[in-house]
């Protein structure tokens, strides 16, 4: 029986403001910063402290919510979500429950099957948790060393008995040779936007596209770096399968620990297959939370339905209702930049690029902007696209530092492309020149002049090289005339070799075929 998956997504996105959601601590890179260096009494949950909302975080969240076409609630309410775990210093997380910041948005995806609209159920603000590192000091190994805010795991009673908690200087447990846990509160209190979709996805591809689109969006809006690996954006799909055509929903399984788009697509694919196989063999799917094991490329059970927690939500008495007045909302709306899908439409319309090409350009904000600047500098969109997404991107990738605008200025790239168009240098030379521009920062013209790379376009000179080549290779010329046309390429190569690679290839090609015809 063919099965159909029904998938909804919860995505947690850090709002990378300067300070945390409810205190003045800086938001730091939780991977590279030394543990517990961005912590104050408020985010460490000292008694007597109170939260105060970071208006900037609200504004960041509004940007995303508006971009997703959400209705913004003029009044939203913070609530306490209660549970015990050492990464949640107050014993509750401040979040929004009954009245979220935003509701009823949508996002349109361009899938291989056509357009697909995903409905956004709600988007709400909350605070991130701290990070726990479980340290195994003896033979008991623990695969999951870092607990990625994964509160599912925390609730389960099946928590490995060897796990202990402790202050960062955990002498006691450390000495006893047992495993223990280290608490890092740098991330505790970092603003988070949680975006929840309706169960509208029907394939792993749609899930990946949605996540990619959302990542592009938050980067365009300058609210998040989009580094999934660093956990600043965390995607949690819930999946059920049902016989195709069925109207009822199957049992839902939630996947955690998906730290890349690849893991996301594979995890979802795996879970669809696992559940379909279970149903296919007449068994049932258990309602549970599973984790993605990157090493085994498989999911494993983290928590069953029985361990589900009662969070005892209630309105946060320390925070008055969050009021978004029209003036504020309109200001944020007015300040929204061009969104990825708006840019895609414009590029497709104005530059005659294909949907796939445009998708490639809008994926990264900087790449698209770079492309446009190259076009503005007078290069045809097609040529600009080829250079920017081809040679330049390869260089950027090889350097491994993401797309860096400053390496080669768009005007310089345009100048280089201009040299090719003018016939001053040929394509292969241009690639060499670009590589040098990339490392040295020199302009194309300077490099070409300094290294004498300007190509020979003088027909007399090239004709002389052609004549020499034919004279030196009579056997090959004969076999060409005997019908072996592929010999042309060999002779052409010889001409270019004589020219030290600098001959204008079109001219050389034309003169060579002319010479051969005359014989």
Partner 1 sequence: MSLATLSLTQASRLLQRGEISSRELTRAALDSIAAQNGRLNAFLFVDEPGALKQADAADESRKRKAAPSPLSGIPLAVKDVLTVAGMPCTCGSKILENYIPPFTATAVKKLQEAGMVVLGKTNTDEFAMGSSTENSAYGVTRNPWDLSRVPGGSSGGSAAAVAARMACAALGSDTGGSVRQPASFCGVTGLKPTYGRVSRYGLVAYGSSLDSVGAFGRSAQDVAAIFSAMQGSDPLDATAQNLPAGEISLEAPDNLQGVRIGVPKEYFIDGIQPAVEKKIREAIALFEQLGAEIIEISLPHTEYALPVYYLIAPAEASANLARFDGVRYGPRAEAETMWDVFTKTRGEKFGDEVQRRIMLGTYALSAGYYDAFYGQAQKVRTLIKRDFEQAFSLVDAIACPVAPTTAFPIGAHGDDPLAMYLEDVFTLPANLAGVPGLAFPVGFDENQLPVGMQLMGPHFAEAALLRLAHAYQQATEWHLAILPPL
291-322 burial by CB neighbour count: b if 16+ within 10 A, else e?
A: bbbbeeeebeebbeeebeeebeeeebeebeeb
x/- contact string, 115-134, with partner 1 (CB under 8 A)?
--------------------
CB-nearer residue toward Zn ion: 21 or 470: 21
| Shortest distance (Å) from residue 163 CB to partner 1 | 6
| Contact status: 25 vs Zn ion (CB under 5 A) | yes
CB-nearer residue toward partner 1: 132 or 465: 132
Query: How many CA atoms are closer than 13 Å to the CA of 31, on its beta-carbon side?
Result: 7
What, of Zn ion, partner 1, none, does residue 314 touch, CB below 5 to 8 Å by kind? partner 1
| Contact status: 256 vs partner 1 (CB under 8 A) | no
**How far from 392 is each of 51, 377, 407, CA to CA, in Å?**
47, 16, 10
Distance between CA atoms of residues 222 and 59, nearest Å: 11
Piece in contact with partner 1 (CB under 8 A), picked from 87-95, 117-125, 243-251, 511-519: 87-95
What, of Zn ion, partner 1, none, does residue 131 touch, CB below 5 to 8 Å by kind? none
Distance between CA atoms of residues 481 and 345, nearest Å: 53
CB-nearer residue toward Zn ion: 23 or 207: 23
Distance between CA atoms of residues 74 and 62, nearest Å: 11
x/- contact string, 365-404, with Zn ion (CB under 5 A)?
----------------------------------------
> What one-character-per-residue DSSP string does 360-402 give?
HHHSSHHHHHHHHHHHHTT--HHHHHHHIIIIIHHHHHHHTS-
Cβ neighbours around 74 below 10 Å, total? 12
| Contact status: 181 vs partner 1 (CB under 8 A) | yes
Provide the residue count of the chain.
519
CB-nearer residue toward partner 1: 49 or 287: 49
Residues within window 294-353 making contact with partner 1, judged by CB under 8 A:
310, 312-314, 317-320
Residue with the two structure tokens 């365009």? 220
Residues within window 55-84 making contact with partner 1, judged by CB under 8 A:
80, 82, 84
| Shortest distance (Å) from residue 43 CB to Zn ion | 3
Residues in contact with 439: Cβ distance below 8 Å, sequence separation at least 6, in sequence order = none
> What one-character-per-residue DSSP string does 112-139 give?
TTEEEEEEEEEEEEEE---EEEEE--SS
**How far from 175 is each of 113, 136, 145, 183, 357, CA to CA, in Å?**
58, 12, 19, 17, 58
| Shortest distance (Å) from residue 93 CB to partner 1 | 11
CB-nearer residue toward Zn ion: 116 or 131: 131
CB-nearer residue toward partner 1: 138 or 318: 318
SS (H, E, C) 308-330: CCCCCCEECCCCCCEECCHHHHH
| Contact status: 177 vs partner 1 (CB under 8 A) | no
What, of partner 1, Zn ion, none, does residue 122 touch, CB below 5 to 8 Å by kind? none
**How far from 242 is each of 1, 110, 251, 277, 279, CA to CA, in Å?**
10, 25, 9, 11, 8
| Contact status: 46 vs partner 1 (CB under 8 A) | yes
CB-nearer residue toward partner 1: 84 or 405: 84
| Shortest distance (Å) from residue 167 CB to partner 1 | 7
Name the token pair of 36.
């517990």
| Shortest distance (Å) from residue 39 CB to Zn ion | 6
| Shortest distance (Å) from residue 361 CB to Zn ion | 40
| Contact status: 43 vs Zn ion (CB under 5 A) | yes
Whether residue 124 contacts residue 194, with contact meaning beta carbons closer than 8 Å, is answered with yes
| Shortest distance (Å) from residue 91 CB to partner 1 | 2
Interface positions with partner 1 (CB under 8 A): 41, 44-53, 80, 82, 84, 86, 89-92, 159, 161, 163-167, 172, 181, 183, 310, 312-314, 317-320
């Amino acid at each position: 029986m063919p099965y159909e998956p029904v998938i909804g997504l919860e995505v947690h996105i850090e709002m990378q403001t300067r300070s945390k959601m409810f205190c003045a601590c800086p938001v730091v890179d939780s991977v590279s910063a030394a543990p517990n260096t961005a912590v104050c009494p408020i985010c460490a949950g000292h008694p007597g402290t109170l939260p105060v909302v970071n208006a900037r975080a609200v504004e960041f969240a509004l940007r995303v919510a508006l971009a997703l076409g959400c209705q913004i609630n003029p009044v939203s309410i913070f609530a306490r979500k209660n549970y015990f775990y050492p990464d949640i210093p107050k014993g509750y997380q401040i979040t929004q429950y009954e009245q979220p910041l935003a509701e009823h948005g949508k996002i349109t995806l361009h899938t291989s099957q056509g357009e697909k609209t995903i409905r956004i159920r709600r988007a709400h603000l909350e605070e991130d948790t701290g990070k726990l590192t479980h340290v195994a000091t003896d033979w008991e190994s623990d695969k999951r060393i870092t607990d990625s805010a994964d509160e599912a795991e925390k609730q389960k009673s099946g928590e490995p008995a060897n796990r202990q908690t402790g202050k960062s200087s955990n002498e006691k447990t450390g000495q006893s040779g047992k495993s223990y846990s280290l608490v890092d509160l740098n991330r505790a209190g970092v603003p988070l936007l949680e975006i929840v979709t309706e169960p509208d996805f029907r394939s792993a591809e749609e899930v990946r596209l949605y996540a990619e689109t959302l990542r592009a969006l938050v980067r365009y809006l300058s609210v998040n770096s989009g580094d999934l690996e660093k956990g600043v954006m965390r995607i949690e799909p819930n999946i059920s399968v049902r016989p195709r055509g069925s109207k009822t929903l199957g049992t839902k399984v939630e996947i955690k620990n998906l730290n890349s788009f690849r893991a996301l697509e594979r995890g979802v694919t795996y879970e669809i297959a696992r559940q379909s196989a279970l149903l296919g063999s007449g068994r049932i799917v258990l309602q549970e939370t599973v984790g993605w094991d990157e090493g085994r490329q498989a999911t494993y059970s983290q928590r069953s339905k029985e361990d589900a927690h009662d969070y005892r939500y209630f309105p946060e008495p320390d925070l008055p209702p969050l009021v978004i007045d029209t003036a504020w909302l309109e200001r944020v709306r007015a300040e929204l930049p061009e969104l990825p899908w708006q840019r895609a439409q414009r590029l497709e319309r104005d530059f005659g690029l294909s949907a796939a090409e445009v998708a490639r350009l809008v994926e990264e904000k900087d790449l698209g902007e770079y492309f446009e600047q190259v076009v503005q500098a007078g290069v045809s969109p097609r040529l600009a696209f080829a250079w920017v997404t081809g040679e330049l991107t390869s260089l950027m990738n090889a350097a491994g530092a993401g797309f860096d605008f400053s390496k080669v200025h768009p005007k310089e790239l345009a100048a280089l492309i201009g040299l090719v168009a003018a016939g001053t240098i040929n394509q292969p030379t241009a690639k060499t020149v670009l590589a040098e521009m990339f490392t040295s920062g020199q302009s194309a013209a300077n490099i070409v002049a300094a290294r004498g790379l300007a190509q020979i376009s003088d027909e007399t000179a090239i004709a002389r090289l052609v004549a020499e080549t034919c004279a030196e290779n009579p056997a090959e010329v004969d076999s060409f005339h005997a019908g072996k046309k592929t010999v042309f390429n060999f002779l052409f190569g010889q001409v270019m070799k004589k020219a030290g690679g600098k001959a204008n290839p079109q001219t050389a090609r034309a003169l060579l075929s002319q010479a051969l015809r005359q014989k």
